[in-house]
A and B are shown apart, each in its own frame.
Chain A
Amino acid sequence: MKLGFLVDLNLCMGCKGCEVACKVENQVPLYSWRLRVKYVDVGVYPETKRTYTPLRCNHCEDAPCERICPVSALHYLENGIVNIDKERCIGCAGCMMACPYGAIYMDPVTNTADKCTYCAHRVASSMMPACVVACPVEANIFGDLDDPTSHISQYIMRHQKDGGVRVRKPEKNTHPKHFYVGGGEVHLNPLASKREEGYNLFNKITHLDHIGGH
């Protein structure tokens, strides 16, 4: 079994339901996110469009975070999920330096690394991840990539033709198991958009001091 995710960006309307559900389900502390929906505005007024991209851990098949973790706090489960053992983590932040997707944060409460686990605890009880359940338009599709009859496999097959199934940063050779349909460079490539002071819907966002570096 190889569990994977797919987000159909044609369906996503940026409601952030998944983000909130994830926070509640996993008790993600303030200032931290396991899953976040990034907004990028494209075009010049009045011809503008807002794009939405849910970003979470890709549960890479060749995960740099797992490779660099000195104590195997980050480890693979049999179903392919990249899981984290917070009791073992020493907080070296090696994984934060290694993950090319910025998917790992330092939990300000436990002082250990944390990230999306595809809701491994729910999956173990045959439940869907919280974000999948919360999505009102079923843009999040979760399932077994090894099973060609699963919904996610079928979805990938159906969208192959349009060249529509993409992953983030394929050149990193991490083999992400998180796919996007309907996404372009603006959605998936951080260099394809600008970040400018004053354009954020929420400005002056602060981080707790010890989340990042010194």
Chain B
Amino acid sequence: MVEHTVAATNAIVTLDVPIPQVIWGWMITLNMWAKSIGTGVVLVGAYLLARHGREVGESVKIWMPIISFIFLNIFLLFTLLDLHQPLRMWHIFVYPHWSSAITVGAWMATLFTAIIFVMMLIALRKFVLAHEDRVPRFCRKLAQMEFLNDELYDKLLKVAVVLALPVTMYTATIMGEATARELWQTPTELVQMLLAAILTGSAVYLIIGQKWSYEVKRDLAIMLGVSAFLSFVIYMGEYYFGHMKAEEVAAILSYVKEGPYAAMFWAGQWIAFIIPMALVYFSLRSRSASLLFLAGVLAIVGLYITKHVWLIIPQLLPLS
């Protein structure tokens, strides 16, 4: 390994002005985190509708598009704010470059958000129809739009579920195309992105579904526990075996082994995965769902920390 020659050569940089290290910062973390929630509630929501539709169908059909739309907009907003030329965003649609995962992702995410928006309108219309006397007059216009019906919702849901998969995973291909940054390997990151969506999706429903039966919560808890476990195993695989891949990977991992991000890395792992896994385990053993709310909150908060560390550390390595 070349870095081991440093002891012999005592080579030390005495003049260099490289570009600043961290180029994609907290806004991109927020972008990935919000996208996981925005897509995760659709994927997990579709499962709930298929498996427990009779019990939770009504509330899932209303809350799924609303929560998804809110988080997709957070994702889109911070994607836009992170651009140095946000007003030129439309260039992606008029000068698309299809080899770029950024382009493909932007198109898919826009389409996905549009579909979720229509689904949200259908959900809101149902609410308006049920409470027509109590909603403001401009909302009643929605009630007159008869094409916004259940039939359309079900059709759009199918498309949304199919689209949610690539929308949640495409950031992994952007990271794969970011060839300057070692550590991010597309296949692993694709799985991590999917697991993040399942983790946050199930966590959101555990938080909002306080009144649901134990059976529904048990299913959600299993989803949360399994996705946390798999995600944790992949991170540990990278942590303990990643250094064998390349010298750069070893140097990057040293930032979380003994370097400045070690504490944050482990905080993320504990909060996002280890504690939620333990809470799921105890709640399944005792057939009690009282711990699951906390597991959900911790998984969502911890995921942000985990994603942030993983985003930053490859950027700390000098490129030239």
Interface residues, chain A, CB within 8 Å of chain B? 33, 36-44, 50, 55, 64, 67-72, 88-94, 96-106, 111-112, 168, 171-172, 174, 185-186, 189-196, 199-202, 205, 207, 210-214
| A106-B84, A193-B6 known; A38-B16 Cβ under 8 A | yes
Q: Check B258 for interface membership: any CB of A closer than 8 A.
A: no
Give the shortest distance, in Å, between A17 (CB) and chain B (any CB): 15
Q: Check B307 for interface membership: any CB of A closer than 8 A.
A: no
Does the CB pair B3–A68 fall under 8 Å? no
Q: Check B177 for interface membership: any CB of A closer than 8 A.
A: yes
Does the CB pair A91–B26 fall under 8 Å? no
CA distance A205 to B13 in the complex (A): 14
| A97-B178, A174-B179 known; A213-B23 Cβ under 8 A | yes
CA distance A38 to B17 in the complex (A): 8
A185 contact set on B, CB distance < 8 A: 2, 5
Does the CB pair A41–B318 fall under 8 Å? no
> What 1/0 mask marks residues of chain B from 92 to 110 whose CB sits below 8 Å from any chain A CB?
1001110111110010000
Does the CB pair A70–B97 fall under 8 Å? yes
Give the shortest distance, in Å, between B19 (CB) and chain A (any CB): 5
> What 1/0 mask marks residues of chain B from 106 to 142 whose CB sits below 8 Å from any chain A CB?
1000000000000000000000000000000000000
Does the CB pair B11–A186 fall under 8 Å? yes
- 11 pairs of residues in contact across A and B, judged by CB atoms under 8 Å: A36-B17, A38-B320, A40-B11, A91-B86, A97-B23, A98-B178, A102-B320, A193-B6, A193-B11, A195-B16, A211-B20
B23 contact set on A, CB distance < 8 A: 93, 96-97, 212-213
CA distance A64 to B176 in the complex (A): 10
Interface residues of B in 1-41 (CB under 8 A from A): 2-3, 5-6, 9-27
| A97-B181, A100-B179 known; A72-B97 Cβ under 8 A | yes
Q: Check B174 for interface membership: any CB of A closer than 8 A.
A: yes
Give the shortest distance, in Å, between B259 (CB) and chain A (any CB): 14
CA distance A191 to B179 in the complex (A): 17
Does the CB pair B20–A207 fall under 8 Å? yes
CA distance A90 to B95 in the complex (A): 11
B92 contact set on A, CB distance < 8 A: 70-71, 90
> What 1/0 mask marks residues of chain B from 303 to 320 whose CB sits below 8 Å from any chain A CB?
000000000000101111
Choose one: A37, A72, A102, A168; the contact of B95 (CB below 8 Å): A72
Which 7 residue pairs of A and B lie closest in terms of their CB atoms, listed nearest first? A91-B84, A212-B20, A102-B319, A213-B25, A39-B15, A193-B11, A70-B102
A111 contact set on B, CB distance < 8 A: 84-85
CA distance A211 to B23 in the complex (A): 8
Residue of B nearest to A74 (CB): B97
A88 contact set on B, CB distance < 8 A: 88, 91, 95
Q: Check B55 for interface membership: any CB of A closer than 8 A.
A: no
| A41-B11, A207-B20 known; A69-B100 Cβ under 8 A | yes
CA distance A98 to B1 in the complex (A): 24
CA distance A91 to B25 in the complex (A): 14
Give the shortest distance, in Å, between B138 (CB) and chain A (any CB): 36
Q: Check B180 for interface membership: any CB of A closer than 8 A.
A: yes
Q: Check B58 for interface membership: any CB of A closer than 8 A.
A: no
| A70-B100, A212-B23 known; A194-B11 Cβ under 8 A | yes
| A40-B13, A200-B13 known; A104-B19 Cβ under 8 A | yes
Does the CB pair B14–A41 fall under 8 Å? yes
CA distance A157 to B50 in the complex (A): 68
Give the shortest distance, in Å, between A139 (CB) and chain B (any CB): 17
Give the shortest distance, in Å, between A45 (CB) and chain B (any CB): 10
Q: Check B89 for interface membership: any CB of A closer than 8 A.
A: yes
CA distance A163 to B12 in the complex (A): 25
Give the shortest distance, in Å, between A203 (CB) and chain B (any CB): 11
Does the CB pair B319–A38 fall under 8 Å? no
Give the shortest distance, in Å, between A185 (CB) and chain B (any CB): 5
A201 contact set on B, CB distance < 8 A: 14-15
User: Beyond A37-B15, A98-B177: 12 further Cβ-contacts under 8 Å?
Assistant: A39-B13, A41-B11, A50-B14, A94-B102, A97-B181, A189-B2, A191-B251, A192-B6, A192-B11, A195-B318, A199-B12, A210-B84
Interface residues of B in 174-223 (CB under 8 A from A): 174, 177-181
Does the CB pair B6–A70 fall under 8 Å? no
Which residue among A67, A71, A172 has the maximum number of chain B CB atoms within 10 Å of its CB? A71
B246 contact set on A, CB distance < 8 A: 171
Choose one: A43, A69, A186, A199; the contact of B14 (CB below 8 Å): A199
Give the shortest distance, in Å, between A200 (CB) and chain B (any CB): 6
CA distance A205 to B97 in the complex (A): 36
Does the CB pair B95–A71 fall under 8 Å? yes
| A71-B92, A100-B319, A212-B21 known; A36-B16 Cβ under 8 A | yes
Residue of B nearest to A100 (CB): B180
CA distance A91 to B79 in the complex (A): 11
| A102-B19, A201-B15 known; A190-B84 Cβ under 8 A | no
